[in-house]
A and B are shown apart, each in its own frame.
Chain A
Amino acid sequence: MSDTVHGHGGEDGETRRDFLVLASAALGAAGAGLAIWPLIDSMNPAKDVLALSTIEVDLTPIAVGQRITVKWRGKPVFVDHRSPEQIAKAAADDNASLKDPQTDKDRVKKPEWLVLVGVCTHLGCVPLGQKVGQPRGDFGGWFCPCHGSHYDTSGRIRVGPAPVNLEVPTYSFLNDTTLRIG
């Protein structure tokens, strides 16, 4: 490049040219970045997806000891109407050796209602134990068939490859019989 047309290629001219090249390249890169952002952001959740991010669950038909699954943000949420024995067991296990220590009290708002995101924290399978007859693992909670994680009656990981406890979603009780998730 240097042997052609640049003419007065003195030291001064070269640095000024370098500055112009760098400045326009930087401006061009910033412009390209700004232009690409709308494309990238279009892959984030759209407004209609965000609008579906809360659901309400009627708790009246759920008997003691019964577990139901509802869909929230495309994922299963476990709602467990725990029996006094299960609550006692969960509280007793607070002192057991836990991979992700958490007391049962910290994981519920009302002890009889345990609400969990039904997605194994290992690689995203849905653990078994919601339906009658399904294995509940060694600790009476849930059992993930994919890679053998056992969860207890508080949804805490006890044995297996999952790193942390089943997630507790944001929820609140609108009244005694209505649960709002999200």
Chain B
Amino acid sequence: MSASSQQQGPVVRWIDQRLPIFSFLQHELHEYPTPKNLNYWWNFGSLAGIVLVIMIATGIFLAMNYTPHVDHAFDSVERIMRDVNYGWLIRYVHMNGASMFFLVVYIHIFRGLYYGSYKPPRELLWWLGLIILLLMMATAFMGYVLPWGQMSFWGATVITNLFSAIPWVGEPIVTWLWGGFAVDNPTLQRFFSLHYLLPFVIVAVVMLHLVALHTAKSNNPLGIDPKSDKDTIPFHPYYTIKDSFGLGVLLIVYMALVFYAPNALGEAENYVPANPLQTPEEIVPEWYLLPFYAILRSVPDKLGGVVLMFASIFILFVLPWLDTSKVRSARFRPIYRQVFWIFVLACIVLGWAGAQKPEGAALMIGRLATAYYFFHLLILMPILGKFEKTRPLPESISQPVLKN
């Protein structure tokens, strides 16, 4: 690629010699050698980044009209819906944006699982992604508390009470989290503060995620490293245009929700102001947390459930070592590519079970799915890598195409 700073005008050159932002962008976006065989599953990383920007932009404007106080929070949200110009639009974009963010990120994670993107040399890239997921969950949870509806209040109560399961120090920790003896104004105010802070922490970790990505370079559907220049193309314009097309599709789905079914993914109960004296009949988290909620409830022991729920995420940190297969892409792993889909199914079943009352068949199904989740990661992955007979890998990314 030709050096762009030579082609640019004198102003760009003057800036670039003092602060090399233009050669940085040129290097990371234009020249960044991307495998030429990336499919549409590779769209979801940049889509997640765009949704993050939308969330921060809408969130900043919501915060201009929101009041973090138990007496005013609910009314200030209703004022946003009724009185503030386009307030309804900004809030619905923000609300459904959370769902879109998790949808896109979950697909991004499953793509990584299928194509082995967590394997060397991308372990830290994978870890940073998991840290982003944890930060997203904390941010989404605290954001859900802010409207101070019934689900906000009781969701906050239930989730903070998880920490009371810790032996000895559990109760003092919960009191500390609340800033009182129940979820109350101090809790709401600190949640607002943190809900504003954490997205910027996410931005910082996303930057590290990108640095790690551009160091290890993108994985690809074949899971083999590019051998020569023939195997790569510049990110811009080839993948900027491919990502733009994916963005168009995402926005169609996203805006269909915003304009035609803005509350389809939410709980109607949260439009009832918080009442600390009356718990709603059923407390259900937002859909994106349901699988973890199902794992929590599948264990009849308080501490056990909490431990298992946290373990379900933390176990993913050691996945690069649990998976003993040297082959990255599931395309060349005949058994893994099938059990992968059983794992996806188990996660969906967990999501379903999390939405049901924890009794009878639903509870049993949730337990089975929980067991399979851990069986897959802890037992199947290590064994499969040892015994599975993988298909031969192509010599290069270009080779299978050129043969035809």
Instruction: Report which A residues bind B (CB closer than 8 A).
Output: 1-5, 37-39, 41-44, 46-49
How far apart are the CA atoms of A37 and B86 in the complex, in Å? 9
Q: Which residue of B lies closest to A36 (CB)?
A: B57
Given contacts A3-B2, A5-B233, A38-B90, contact A46 B83 (CB under 8 A): yes
Q: Which listed residue (A3, A4, A5, A42) contacts B61, Cβ 8 A?
A: A42
- Whether B57 lies near A46 (C-beta < 8 A) is no
- Smallest CB separation, A45 vs chain B (Å): 8
- Whether A48 lies near B65 (C-beta < 8 A) is no
Q: List 23 A-B contacts (CB under 8 A).
A: A1-B1, A1-B30, A2-B2, A3-B1, A4-B1, A4-B234, A37-B86, A38-B85, A38-B86, A39-B57, A39-B86, A42-B65, A42-B84, A42-B86, A42-B87, A42-B90, A44-B85, A46-B79, A46-B84, A46-B85, A47-B82, A47-B84, A49-B83
Given contacts A4-B234, A39-B57, A39-B58, contact A47 B89 (CB under 8 A): no
Q: Which residue of B lies closest to A48 (CB)?
A: B83
- Whether A39 lies near B79 (C-beta < 8 A) is no
Interface string of B64-94 (1 = CB under 8 A from A): 1100000000000001001111110110000
B contacts with A, residue count (CB < 8 A): 20
Add 19 more A-B contacts to A41-B86, A42-B85 (CB < 8 A). A1-B234, A4-B233, A4-B234, A38-B85, A38-B89, A38-B90, A39-B86, A41-B85, A42-B61, A42-B64, A42-B65, A42-B86, A43-B61, A43-B64, A46-B65, A46-B79, A47-B82, A47-B85, A48-B79
- List chain B residues, Cβ under 8 A from A46: 65, 79, 83-85, 87
How far apart are the CA atoms of A37 and B89 in the complex, in Å? 11
Q: Which residue of B lies closest to A31 (CB)?
A: B251
- List chain B residues, Cβ under 8 A from A49: 83
- List chain A residues, Cβ under 8 A from B86: 37-39, 41-42
- List chain B residues, Cβ under 8 A from A37: 86
Q: Which 6 A-B pairs have the closest CB atoms?
A: A38-B86, A47-B83, A46-B83, A48-B83, A41-B85, A46-B84
Given contacts A3-B2, A4-B234, A48-B83, contact A39 B90 (CB under 8 A): yes
How far apart are the CA atoms of A48 and B79 in the complex, in Å? 8
- Smallest CB separation, A101 vs chain B (Å): 39
- List chain B residues, Cβ under 8 A from A2: 2
Interface string of B1-12 (1 = CB under 8 A from A): 110000000000
How far apart are the CA atoms of A128 and B89 in the complex, in Å? 44
- List chain B residues, Cβ under 8 A from A47: 82-85
- List chain A residues, Cβ under 8 A from B64: 42-43
- Smallest CB separation, A5 vs chain B (Å): 7
How far apart are the CA atoms of A44 and B90 in the complex, in Å? 14
- List chain A residues, Cβ under 8 A from B57: 39
- List chain B residues, Cβ under 8 A from A44: 85
- List chain B residues, Cβ under 8 A from A39: 57-58, 61, 86, 90
Interface string of B288-303 (1 = CB under 8 A from A): 0000000000000000
- List chain A residues, Cβ under 8 A from B87: 42, 46
- Smallest CB separation, A148 vs chain B (Å): 36
How far apart are the CA atoms of A47 and B78 in the complex, in Å? 12
Q: Which residue of A lies closest to B85 (CB)?
A: A41
- Smallest CB separation, B309 vs chain A (Å): 37
How far apart are the CA atoms of A47 and B89 in the complex, in Å? 15
Q: Which residue of A lies closest to B86 (CB)?
A: A38
How far apart are the CA atoms of A38 and B89 in the complex, in Å? 8
How far apart are the CA atoms of A49 and B172 in the complex, in Å? 44
How far apart are the CA atoms of A49 and B83 in the complex, in Å? 8
How far apart are the CA atoms of A47 and B64 in the complex, in Å? 15
- Smallest CB separation, A73 vs chain B (Å): 16
- Smallest CB separation, A143 vs chain B (Å): 36
Q: Which of B2, B86, B89 has the most chain A CB within a 10 Å cutoff?
A: B86
- Smallest CB separation, B49 vs chain A (Å): 16
How far apart are the CA atoms of A49 and B1 in the complex, in Å? 57
How far apart are the CA atoms of A46 and B234 in the complex, in Å? 47
- Smallest CB separation, B38 vs chain A (Å): 15
Interface residues of B in 84-106 (CB under 8 A from A): 84-87, 89-90
How far apart are the CA atoms of A35 and B237 in the complex, in Å? 24
- List chain A residues, Cβ under 8 A from B82: 47
Q: Which residue of A lies closest to B84 (CB)?
A: A46
How far apart are the CA atoms of A9 and B2 in the complex, in Å? 17
- Smallest CB separation, A27 vs chain B (Å): 11
Q: Which residue of A lies closest to B229 (CB)?
A: A4
- List chain A residues, Cβ under 8 A from B233: 4-5
- Smallest CB separation, B72 vs chain A (Å): 13
Interface residues of B in 25-84 (CB under 8 A from A): 30, 57-58, 61, 64-65, 79, 82-84
- List chain B residues, Cβ under 8 A from A4: 1, 233-234
How far apart are the CA atoms of A6 and B57 in the complex, in Å? 37
How far apart are the CA atoms of A2 and B7 in the complex, in Å? 13
How far apart are the CA atoms of A4 and B79 in the complex, in Å? 55
Q: Which residue of A lies closest to B60 (CB)?
A: A39
Q: Which of A37, A41, A49 has the most chain B CB within a 10 Å cutoff?
A: A41
